[in-house]
Amino acid sequence: MLSPAEAQERCEALIERARRAGADAGDAIYVANASESVQVRLGALEDVERSESEHIGLRVFANGASASIGSSDLGDEALDELANRAVAMARLAPADKFAGLAPEEMLLRGDTLELDLDDLTERSPMDLRCLAEEAEDAARSVAGVTNSEGAGASAGRGLFALATSHGFSGGYAASSHSISASVVAGEGSTMQRDYSWRSTRHAADLKSAAEIGREAGERAVSRLNPGRVKSGQMPVVFDPRVGNSLIGHLIGAMSGASIARRASFLLDRDEQQLFDSAITIADNPHVLRGMRSRPFDGEGLPTGARNLVEGGRITGWLMDAAAARQLDSQPTGHASRGSSGPPHVTASNVVLGAGSLTPAELMADIADGVYVTELIGHGVNGVTGDYSRGASGFRIVNGELAGAIAEFTVAGNLIDMFAALTAANDLEIYRGIDVPTLRVDGMSIAGD
């Protein structure tokens, strides 16, 4: 893996080759990753994996058209061929009046912000094995746990660099450390599984392996002997580990590209009251050690904190340069890049602010409802907002959790669900999209 400075130099060299080959403009990205993981099961080593990859991608513009190409060969001859092929491809492509680099006057200038994303702590395979074994031992020690699907620990490091033909060049590295465990409780046809995991930028920020393992075991045991729930309309309470998916649907619908295609359930709802006025959803790419923090976006624009929803109202769309041109607006610093292809829109560290009630207080007046801990399937229509997903969790009876339930469906429309959403005060930040316990009244439940 190259250093950030070396990666920037390779990207700049590739851009220069593309200009010599006849490109009007272009950008180049370098993406590299290295990781090591260890998996154990039932106390025995199951898998040790080491992976490394690096890729350089080039996007060029010629005569109003664009083309993207990439390679894992970073040698001079390979970069020469890459540049020539990209320009040749662009000359054969149809023109696109919305394609192009981000506005030059909006590019990030000066040094990139230091966000403490790169932890140089090294963990050997034996260190990782010990963490995985500790997590699994703790999970299996929970009364009622009968089997294990395994536990794992991993450590990795990635690097991203970007250079454009109109003056931007930057790069940064980010590390990751994670522990997970998945176990089974019960016997025969009554078996239930559940899991727990944590991932952080710095090893020192991880929860202990024993805590993660115990959480996995306790969750699996709590799901034993699930009953069924009757069909009807009732309040649904979403556990934080699944409630964040609701905000994921919101972010997808806020994409400028979806709005430009008129393929979003938020169409014509910009700045409308969507949530209760107490709801704020913040996006902050500058969180120190944040899992989705970044000093610049995938087009070289500066990133910055912003409320996506403030006082219950959407504050505007998330746009890369192409979507901004389609909507006659300005890019918002939310462009993201993979190892090849054009940019797309992503948010960073997203947090739905905590409410004032504890989860127990949030459920206190629910005579009959459900508490969802797992969602199954992909039954969400991004155009209409219709929502229908399989689920499992617990019944709520007279404000208390009253036994596990499974094999039911929760359904509604996201617009109605957002309007009826109430947040508890148990916010914990570690996922990338983080929410407290969420309550949504009036959802349809399909069970028995």
- 220-231, pLDDT tens digit by residue? 999 999 999 999
Closest residue by Cα to residue 4 from 119, 170, 144, 125: 170
Q: Can you tell me the mean pLDDT for 276-299?
A: 97
pTM for this prediction:
0.94
Which structure tokens are listed for 202? 């710095």
Give the model's confidence band at 9: pLDDT under 50 very low, under 70 low, under 90 confident, else very high. very high
Query: pLDDT tens digit string along 204-261?
Result: 999 999 999 999 999 999 999 999 999 999 999 999 999 999 999 999 999 999 999 9
Per-residue model confidence (pLDDT) at position 339: 77
On the question of pLDDT at 340 being above 90, the answer is no
Per-residue model confidence (pLDDT) at position 1: 87
**Average pLDDT value for the chain:** 96
On the question of pLDDT at 272 being above 90, the answer is no
Report all structural domains of the chain as residue ranges with CATH numbers, in order of start: 4-221 (3.30.2290.10), 226-448 (no CATH)
Provide the phi-psi class of 300: left if phi over 0, else alpha when psi is between -120 and 50, else beta: left
Gap between the Cα atoms of 91 and 99, Å rounded: 14
On the question of pLDDT at 430 being above 80, the answer is yes
On the question of pLDDT at 183 being above 90, the answer is yes
Dihedral (CA of 248, 254, 256, 259) sign? positive
φ, ψ dihedrals at 35, nearest 5°: -150, 155
Dihedral (CA of 56, 62, 67, 73) sign? negative
> Which amino acid does the sequence have at 28?
A
Burial of 170 (0-12, 13-18, 19+ CB in 10 A): buried
Answer for the pair 355, 422: CB distance below 8 angstroms, yes or no. yes
Per-residue model confidence (pLDDT) at position 435: 98
Per-residue model confidence (pLDDT) at position 332: 97
Query: pLDDT tens digit string along 343-360?
Result: 999 999 999 999 999 999
Per-residue model confidence (pLDDT) at position 128: 98
Query: pLDDT tens digit string along 132-158?
Result: 999 999 999 999 999 999 999 999 999
Gap between the Cα atoms of 286 and 9, Å rounded: 25
> Which amino acid does the sequence have at 214?
R
Contacts of 161 (CB under 8 A, 6+ apart): 2, 4, 7, 8, 10, 11, 29, 30, 169, 170, 171, 172
Q: Which of the two residues, 122 and 45, has the higher pLDDT score?
A: 45
Per-residue model confidence (pLDDT) at position 190: 86
Q: What angle do CA 439, 304, 29 make, to 5 degrees?
A: 110
